[in-house]
């Protein structure tokens, strides 16, 4: 193995592997056969000070497929537990992910690097430890799209594929997606040790996370209460972003909740197209536990589970006080995002009703969530042709839509922003492009034929989602009829 290979500079160590042995299991990846390059995110590569063209080189591809060792990497599968659909599962862990280690960039930021789909681990629980190309493409595109939308998220560096067969509902081909985050610690990591009565491990983990990622808690007199409060605040802001952009995670189990408030583990996710607060993107969620409107309350449920896991470190009263910030922070963050979406400097007296009535109109008309707000960017303080484009989605409720527009005009006149300033601000808050399910499926279908150009083109649009460009006009269209039957599940 040559020390001059670019891949050998990828990681500089694995500090998580320096924790006590009960935190992880050393695990070698299972190589993919004849791996090939699929995609790279130049924006994620920039986080790591990497040349994206180097990632397509054979040595990089083989290493990211688990075929070649990487200098300095100590591959481990980490232990965690979790509540899945509300039911306690005492041991989960990295069933198909391996932590390679971390890399410090020129800004001094430390990034953990993980291979998802690298083969069986001690936590695979009868699974094969593999990820399929389909789900890998979805996670890759959505991670990078969410970041461009301003939503806190883990990142995706690259995808490598193989013709190795992976069996889910039907035979598919394998892939590994390289994920990047400051930390992959989850709520369920704390739950794992708390359930075993291992207070020492809970404290060790909390101290590690606080010292690395929560400076506001590190210097606090009651550091663990301050830590829980910061986690609650970060989680609230992320959920507010989800609701504002119409994103549904699909599987908000506690093992899928990032301690840093990042969007973590892209499984059966989706961006809402036709507005429906009770929308369920995961066809495995038969009871609708994780439906769109339930995400804020589920996040609080999960935070309470985290607080219970931190019981060795803080009393019940302190935990309750720390979590009391969640709902006010969520409301403030969400309303601030919606105020920007509506182009208001502040909320006039009746604007909360204005927002609720717009959602009611959208629900009755099954209007496209993203397109409705994007068209609203063009509506002016006086009637124009843009009114017709906006009202088009509400044909069956035209009178109500026009009445709502008059109220909206009164609000923007009261807000006092100049027309050009307001329109520009709204376009910077309401994306033209989201990862619609049919767009992802189109890219997947082409990739399954070894044509990766659709991934690259879609990524280019999603990395600048607020910038409307003629060459991406097709990405702004609502889903065609054939896409109505598309479903996503936990199978990946």
The confidence band for 485, taking pLDDT boundaries of 50, 70 and 90, is low
> What tokens does 390 get?
């906006």
- The whole-chain average pLDDT of the chain stands at 94
Long-range Cβ contact pairs of 59-62 (< 8 A, separation 24 or more): 59/5, 59/6, 59/7, 60/6, 60/7, 60/158, 61/35, 61/36, 61/37, 61/160, 62/35
Give the pLDDT confidence of 199-232 residue by residue, as tens digits.
999 999 999 999 999 999 999 999 999 999 999 9
d(CA 115, CA 481): 36
Give the pLDDT confidence of 96-137 residue by residue, as tens digits.
999 999 999 999 999 999 999 999 999 998 889 999 999 999
**Residues 6+ away with beta carbon under 8 Å from 58:** none
pLDDT over 90 percentage in the chain: 85
Lowest mean pLDDT among 62-71, 189-198, 290-299: 62-71
Catalytic residue, chosen from 255, 265, 285, 387, is 255
| CB 90 within 8 Å of CB 2 | no
The confidence band for 382, taking pLDDT boundaries of 50, 70 and 90, is confident
| CB 144 within 8 Å of CB 44 | yes
- CA-nearest of 358, 344, 350, 352 to 421 is 344
pLDDT of residue 1: 45
pLDDT of residue 425: 95
d(CA 429, CA 38): 31
CA-based end-to-end distance of the chain: 33
Give the pLDDT confidence of 424-482 residue by residue, as tens digits.
999 999 999 999 999 999 999 999 999 999 999 999 999 999 999 999 999 998 888 77
pLDDT of residue 491: 59
The confidence band for 351, taking pLDDT boundaries of 50, 70 and 90, is confident
Residue 163 annotated to the active site: no
């Amino acid at each position: 193995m040559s020390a001059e290979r670019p891949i050998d500079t990828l990681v500089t160590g694995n500090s998580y592997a320096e924790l006590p042995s009960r935190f992880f299991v050393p695990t070698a990846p299972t190589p993919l056969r004849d791996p090939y390059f699929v995609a790279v995110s130049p924006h994620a590569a920039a986080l790591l000070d990497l040349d994206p063209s180097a990632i397509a080189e054979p040595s990089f591809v083989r290493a990211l497929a688990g075929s070649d060792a990487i200098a300095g990497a100590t591959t481990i599968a980490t232990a965690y537990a979790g509540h899945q659909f509300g039911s306690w599962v005492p041991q989960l862990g990295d069933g198909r992910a391996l932590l390679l280690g971390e890399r410090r960039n020129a800004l001094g930021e430390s990034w953990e690097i993980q291979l998802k789909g690298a083969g069986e681990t001690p936590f695979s629980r009868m699974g094969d430890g593999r990820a399929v190309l389909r789900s890998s493409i979805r996670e890759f595109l959505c991670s990078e799209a969410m970041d461009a939308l301003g939503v806190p998220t883990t990142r995706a560096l690259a995808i490598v594929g193989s013709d190795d067969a992976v069996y889910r509902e039907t035979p598919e081909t394998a892939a590994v997606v390289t994920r990047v985050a400051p930390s992959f610690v989850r709520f369920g990591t704390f739950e794992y040790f708390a359930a075993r009565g291992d207070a020492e491990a809970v404290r060790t983990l909390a101290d590690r996370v606080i010292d690395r990622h929560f400076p506001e808690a590190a210097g606090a007199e009651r550091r663990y209460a301050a830590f829980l409060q910061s986690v609650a605040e970060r989680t609230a802001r992320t959920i507010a972003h989800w609701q504002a952009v119409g994103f549904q995670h699909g599987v908000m189990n506690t093992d899928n909740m990032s301690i840093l408030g990042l969007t973590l583990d892209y499984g059966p996710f989706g961006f809402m197209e036709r507005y429906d607060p009770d929308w369920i993107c995961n066809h495995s969620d038969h009871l609708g536990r994780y439906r769109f409107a339930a995400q804020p309350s589920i996040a609080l449920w999960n935070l309470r589970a985290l607080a219970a896991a931190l019981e060795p470190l803080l009393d019940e009263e302190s935990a309750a006080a720390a979590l009391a910030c969640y709902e006010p922070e969520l409301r403030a963050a969400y309303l601030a995002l919606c105020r920007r979406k509506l182009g208001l400097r502040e909320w006039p007296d009746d604007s909360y009703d204005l927002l609720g009535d717009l959602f009611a109109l959208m629900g009755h008309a099954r209007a496209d969530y993203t397109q409705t707000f994007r068209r609203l960017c063009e509506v002016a303080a006086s009637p124009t042709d843009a009114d017709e484009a906006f009202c088009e989605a509400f044909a069956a409720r035209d009178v109500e839509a026009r009445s709502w527009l008059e109220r909206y005009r009164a609000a923007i006149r009261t807000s006092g922003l100049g027309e050009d300033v307001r329109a520009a601000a709204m376009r910077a808050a309401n994306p033209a492009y989201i990862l619609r399910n049919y767009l992802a499926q189109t890219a997947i279908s082409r990739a399954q034929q070894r044509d990766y150009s659709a991934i690259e083109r879609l990524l280019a649009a999603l990395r600048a989602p607020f910038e409307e460009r003629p060459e991406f006009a097709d990405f702004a269209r609502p889903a065609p009829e054939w896409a109505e039957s598309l479903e996503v599940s936990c199978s990946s």
